[in-house]
Amino acid sequence: MNTSSSSAPRASSKSRVMKFPWMASIIAMATLLASCASPPLPPAASSPSPGGLATIPAGRPGDTGPLPPTLQQGKSRWVPVRWAELPGFEDDALHEAWNAWLKSCERPGPTFAPLCAEVRRLSIASGQEQRSWMTSRLQPYRVETLQGAPEGLLTSYYEPVLKASRQPAPGFEVPLYRVPAGLGARRPWFSRQDIDTLPEARAALKGREIAWVADPIDALVLHIQGSGRLSLSEPDGSQRTVRVAFAGSNEQPYRSVNQWLLEQGVAKINPWPDATKAWARDNPQRVQQLLWSNPRYIFFREEALSDFDAAFGPKGAQGVALTPGRSIAVDPGSIPYGTPVWLASSGRAAHLQKLVLAQDTGSAIVGSVRADYFAGTGPQAGELASRVNQPLRLWVLWPK
């Protein structure tokens, strides 16, 4: 879950989408055991635009007959369309998205639960078989605002990996905390500045440390992304990797440190976070001001990380592990958790036309056509996530 806004520093990697073909084999085996310069954004295709419309490919067999009525889903309007409107539908490597769909079927909502037995059986099917099943069982709807605007914003988030120590030590002096006792009794809780300066806030957190990291900017990145992995030095000298997942917040508003720097007259700093670290080295007397400009503070819980878990991200708001490149955070008031979604977005960072699953949310992920793309784990994912801030179109795929 990403807690930042669209103006926040963001972090991830290459301009092409990360692929994980080997994950399909892992998921398929588990399923059998359990069940024995940038291209232009594709235009909406429901009606010609004033300037003309690109050629729409021929519809799939059986994609005929009357369309269902337009639906209103909370904050959004869903307009029924033909499958031919979905850009790149015939080309996507659907087996990668099936990994995320299987995860959603671990905790399905009432709308999609009846389909999960078929989803599991199709985990080892061909892409063509998966496509044919989707067109027979699902209806695509273009997501629009209530005013009819089909275009929104795509950003991205990731899971950072930080070196850490179980004990404070020279070079490891920035704590990561578990949820303090009585967090919910005081709303909002102490701000980031309060936590650093007020004796009562420090007392409430004493003994709640999970580990210590080296750099306050890295700790802030972890807070912004909402979860991460720690490469830990244990007291006995051993090394292991654990996950720290979002467990709660102080319920203070999020503020972008990049926006604060702009307000201080500093030219826009990119890429995040490396350029911000360089600014901090040059302005050590102002680092606390920069950190305190964002009053929001995140508390974590530690989770063990098996080899199988390592292939996936943290659990999102749906309660299932996120799949790199195939999970998105959405506004659940527009798109319910567990919904398969067709995503189309083009920009300098990435050209994406693919099936994804709505499995997470974030405090800044608000609006009808709004998504945060889970890029994966580590520095390459962080590089991509930092650059994705581009136009977006979405189509929900809803049972017929």
At 261-309, the pLDDT tens digits run 989 888 766 767 888 888 999 999 999 999 999 999 999 999 999 888 8
Contact 245, 227 (CB under 8 A): yes
pLDDT at 39: 40
Contact 118, 133 (CB under 8 A): yes
pLDDT at 1: 53
pLDDT over 90 at 214, yes or no = yes
Burial class (CB in 10 A: 0-12, 13-18, 19+), 226: buried
Any residues with CB less than 8 A from the CB of 92 and at least 6 apart, and which? 127, 353, 354, 355
Any residues with CB less than 8 A from the CB of 294 and at least 6 apart, and which? 192, 220, 223, 254, 255, 256, 257, 260
The pLDDT tens digits for 225-235 are 999 999 998 88
User: How many other C-beta atoms are found inside a 10 Å radius of the C-beta of residue 302?
Assistant: 16
pLDDT at 50: 32
pLDDT at 93: 96
pLDDT at 194: 97
User: How many other C-beta atoms are found inside a 10 Å radius of the C-beta of residue 271?
Assistant: 14
pLDDT over 50 at 207, yes or no = yes
Q: What is the mean pLDDT of the segment spanning 256-263?
A: 90
Q: Are strands 370-377 and 327-329 parallel, antiparallel or unpaired?
A: antiparallel
pLDDT over 60 at 147, yes or no = yes
Better pLDDT: 389 or 258: 389
Residue with tokens 């078989």: 129
Q: What is the mean pLDDT of the segment spanning 128-144?
A: 97
Q: What is the mean pLDDT of the segment spanning 339-348?
A: 96
Q: What is the mean pLDDT of the segment spanning 351-379?
A: 96
Contact 247, 182 (CB under 8 A): no
Q: What is the mean pLDDT of the segment spanning 36-56?
A: 38
Better pLDDT: 348 or 3: 348
Whole-structure pTM value: 0.82
pLDDT at 237: 83
Q: Which of 13-22, 78-87, 183-192, 322-331 has the lowest mean pLDDT?
A: 13-22
pLDDT over 80 at 72, yes or no = yes
The pLDDT tens digits for 300-338 are 999 999 888 899 999 999 999 999 999 999 999 999 999
Q: What is the mean pLDDT of the segment spanning 72-77?
A: 94
Contact 80, 144 (CB under 8 A): no
pLDDT at 266: 85
* Distance (Å, whole) CA 268 – CA 285: 20
- Residue 187: band (very low, low, confident or very high) from pLDDT cuts 50, 70, 90: confident
pLDDT over 50 at 89, yes or no = yes
Better pLDDT: 124 or 15: 124
- Angstrom CA distances, 264 to 216, 261, 281, stand at 20, 5, 17
pLDDT at 46: 40
**DSSP for 264-280?**
TTPPPP-STTHHHHHHH
Most distant CA pair in the chain: distance in Å? 70
What are the structural domains of the chain?
A: 157-254+290-303 (2.40.240.50)
User: What rounded mean pLDDT belongs to the chain?
Assistant: 86
